[in-house]
Amino acid sequence: MSGKKLLLIIIPLLVLIFNALIIFNPSEVMLAARGGAVLWFNSVVPSLLPFMIGTNMLLRLGVVNFIGILLEPIMRPLFGVSGKGAFALAMGATSGYPIGAQVCASLREDAQISQVETQRLLSFVNNSGPLFMIGAIGAGMFDNERVGYFILVTNLIGAILSGMLFKFYKRSDSKRESRNSLRHAATELKNKEPFGKILSESIIKSLESLMLIAGFIILFSVILKILEVSGIIDVIVSLLYNIGLPIGKELISAAIYGFFEITNGASRLATMELSKNVVILCAALVSFGGMSIFSQSIAFLSKTDVKTSIFFVSKLLNAALTVAAGILIYPLWSFETERAVTVFAATAPVTTLMLSTSICAMAIMTILVTVFAMKIKAIYKKRNPKKGL
């Protein structure tokens, strides 16, 4: 029997078992679904909505073309991608997943970057945002903002190294991609649509994306609860512990929860005594993002020709490099602190929305000022061809 035929049997069977377990555990499932919905409304919506609207508008306005011209000399040698990849990097780094994947998908759908460039970009631009690492995990869960900064630094190092290694993915295509990218980057701002239309459609698209994310968060909250009440997680923990995994059962359990949904894994690690294994494992889980985030990213990328398996491998590589960075940095890092930073520890949706909106506004202003400066420079050179700035 072929693999595809086997999947046609296994997948419906798993869905039937899943539905049966829901029927037999209605109260637990209801609470899990409600918890996922609350998490989405209180954390995801205020954190991502400003960035989703901003990125959609900038993409529609064609600003990415100018960024490509400016940063091509940096992005191409380091990561083997066009300068337009810097836009995905900037928005992904400031907002967090799955914005990086959404931007990559949009660039690929518009044929602004190649399939190979998209795979390379995904290896380092779809990461957690600083608000989540420093605020939610560091100050919020661990009550120690230094833990959040440690996770942030190790995740950045892991992502950069992963991107530099993935530069060699299908290296033979690099010269042709470079020529194509420079030709596309020469495109001027030519979107003639009214600004009001761009704004309204960007908001609608952002809300649709948020609803998609909500579905995945609730689904994985329910899956995790089903695995928990059915005892499957305990069985997996015992199996991994008995085969000699060199960490305790508590860490294995937290790793399994984090593999499916990052906040569950991080919150369990935060209840343990602060140690090297706890902090580095948390950094690795944040770097990978969990299957919930991975599924959200794949949903955005489903309309492109991106290879899911390569994307998954790149995230595993990202997590492994984060662990390596953590092992090297941990002895040099001080985790002593008197109290958490209150501005990051605040968890109210309105506060989160204000913080994310401020960060988004600063990122967009930086991009727009850069584009404006480039346009002025181009006009000056055109009028004064013998002079330079």
Assess if residue 117 is contained within a domain.
yes
pLDDT at 136: 82
Least confident segment among 29-33, 50-54, 60-64, 179-183: 179-183
d(CA 304, CA 185): 21
Assess if residue 5 is contained within a domain.
no
Q: How far, CA to CA in Å, does 106 sit from each of 88, 167, 208, 303?
A: 10, 21, 15, 9
d(CA 349, CA 47): 8
Residue 73 has pLDDT above 50, yes or no: yes
Q: Do the Cβ atoms of 29 and 226 come closer than 8 Å? A: yes
Per-residue pLDDT reduced to its tens digit, 204-226: 988 988 998 899 889 888 988 88
Per-residue pLDDT reduced to its tens digit, 93-138: 888 888 889 999 988 988 888 999 999 999 999 988 888 888 888 8
d(CA 175, CA 43): 42
Residue 174 has pLDDT above 70, yes or no: no
Assess if residue 95 is contained within a domain.
yes
In the chain, the number of structural domains is 1
Q: Which residue has the tokens 């995801």?
A: 44
Position 7 confidence tier, pLDDT thresholds 50, 70, 90: low
Assess if residue 140 is contained within a domain.
yes
Assess if residue 12 is contained within a domain.
no
Residue 203 belongs to domain spanning: 25-185+192-383
When pLDDT is averaged across residues 295-320 and rounded to a whole number, the result is 92
Assess if residue 13 is contained within a domain.
no
Could you give the count of Cα atoms lying within 13 Å of 35 in the half-sphere of its Cβ?
A: 15
Assess if residue 36 is contained within a domain.
yes
Per-residue pLDDT reduced to its tens digit, 177-201: 555 554 554 444 455 678 788 888 8
Question: 11: exposed, middle or buried (C-beta count within 10 Å: 0-12, 13-18, 19+)?
Answer: exposed
Tell me how crowded residue 186 is: count the other CB atoms within 10 A of its CB.
Answer: 9
pLDDT at 282: 94
